Amino acid sequence: MHTKNKIAAVVVSALVAGLAGCSTASSPDTASATQAPSANNDPQLAAQYNLDVNKVPAENFDLSKFKLNTPRDDNKPERSGKVMEIYKPMLNDKANPFSDADWFYTDSVTGAMVFASPNKAMTTPNSKNARSELRAMLSDDYSSPKNNFTIASTDNAEAYGAVGGHMSATLSVDWVSTSGDYKKNGAFATVIGQIHGSKNEPLKIMYRKLPEHEYGSVYWNYETNALGDDYSKRRDIRHEVFGQSGLRQGSEDPVTGIKLGEIFSYDVNVDGDIMHLTFTKNPGKPNQEVKTFDIDLAKGEYQGDKYDQGYANDWMYFKAGTYNQCNTGSSGCSNNGIEAGDYAKVSFFQFSLDQ
């Protein structure tokens, strides 16, 4: 159970600063003062998903096409004053593979790849929200078009690292913040997978659970690609999957949703111009439930929005982890630490990118 406990609002402490900027091969189940408790304690999950509890995430999962951001101040000289970035070679260093005992590690019982993020920490430019999140990197040159993908209708599609791509995950959301403003959709929510474009996001997969509810809701957003003078007209169009989005204080528990610690999956396949989405509740069980969506990313004017230009001729990249939507500003969340429940945590049991 979570009890009120004050910790520093700034995530980095002198005790862990040395760990943050370098790879470490220390035991992935190393405890820390702020490590979030586990939601799943079934050791059979490690065998079911072929995970080794003694290995760090990059040894259990193919992360060779990803970099990682964690909610710490970066201590590398070239990134002073920026959020911690674990470069692709650091994340996948076979001699000294990376883990972070607080925010990115292997669960000592299930073997899951765990991402956790507080309600306030150093974050990326243009964002108020902390994250522990992978970002696909198709090239070693960050600024190259080859580092990102596009869709088939893009005029110079061959200049990019890929046309389309396929990302799949089997996961559980283990915790979302219990503080926040009920009137804000970011409160009690986290992003667990996304496609980011050069400006806007054609896909954000969300999980949100109100503190008094047993069930949370999974839904996804399409952000209209309004550009130029119309950039301020961009908006998120929500699509419900399991449960119900937009719930407020006093709403009924969305019993068609998903509980904390309950395993489900998402599959994102951009093929040609079409984004195919598949969500599965109770995967592999007799009561398995599947929801699918198909969206033409090139068409534009999605659901009649005249400002949406579509995503043809744009570049994009996949992301996965926990991008905590609860912040101490617009979401009205507090930041009193793990024991107070002011964080988000997600466990991945299967994860792949085909691109």
What does the alpha-carbon distance between residue 279 and residue 156 come to, in Å, rounded to a whole number? 32
What does the alpha-carbon distance between residue 208 and residue 221 come to, in Å, rounded to a whole number? 13
In a domain, 106, yes or no: yes
Is the model's pLDDT at 2 over the cut of 60? no
In a domain, 203, yes or no: yes
Categorize the per-residue pLDDT at 6 as very low, low, confident or very high, splitting at 50, 70 and 90. Answer: very low
What does the alpha-carbon distance between residue 36 and residue 324 come to, in Å, rounded to a whole number? 14
In a domain, 96, yes or no: yes
In a domain, 23, yes or no: no
In a domain, 14, yes or no: no
What does the alpha-carbon distance between residue 186 and residue 180 come to, in Å, rounded to a whole number? 8
pLDDT in tens, 161-219: 999 999 999 999 999 999 999 999 999 999 999 999 999 999 999 999 999 999 999 99
Taking residues 3-24, what's their average pLDDT? 38
What's the pTM?
0.90
Q: Identify whether the C-beta of residue 145 lies closer than 8 Å to the C-beta of residue 315.
A: yes
Q: Give the C-alpha distances (Å, rounded to integers) separating 355 from 64, 66, 233, 241, 320.
A: 11, 12, 32, 26, 15
Q: CATH number for the domain including 104?
A: 2.60.120.200
In a domain, 316, yes or no: yes
Phi-psi region of 272 (alpha: psi -120 to 50; beta: other; left: phi over 0): left
What does the alpha-carbon distance between residue 151 and residue 105 come to, in Å, rounded to a whole number? 33
In a domain, 31, yes or no: no
- Model pLDDT, residue 34: 59
Strands (E), 198-315: 203-208, 215-223, 236-242, 258-259, 264-271, 274-281, 289-296
Count: domains in the chain: 1
Q: Give the C-alpha distances (Å, rounded to integers) separating 315 from 65, 153, 319.
A: 17, 12, 14
In a domain, 12, yes or no: no
Which amino acid belongs to residue 326? C
Parent domain of 312: 39-354
What does the alpha-carbon distance between residue 280 and residue 285 come to, in Å, rounded to a whole number? 10
320 or 25, which is more confident?
320
Q: Identify whether the C-beta of residue 153 lies closer than 8 Å to the C-beta of residue 312.
A: yes
Element spanning 44, H or E: helix 44-48
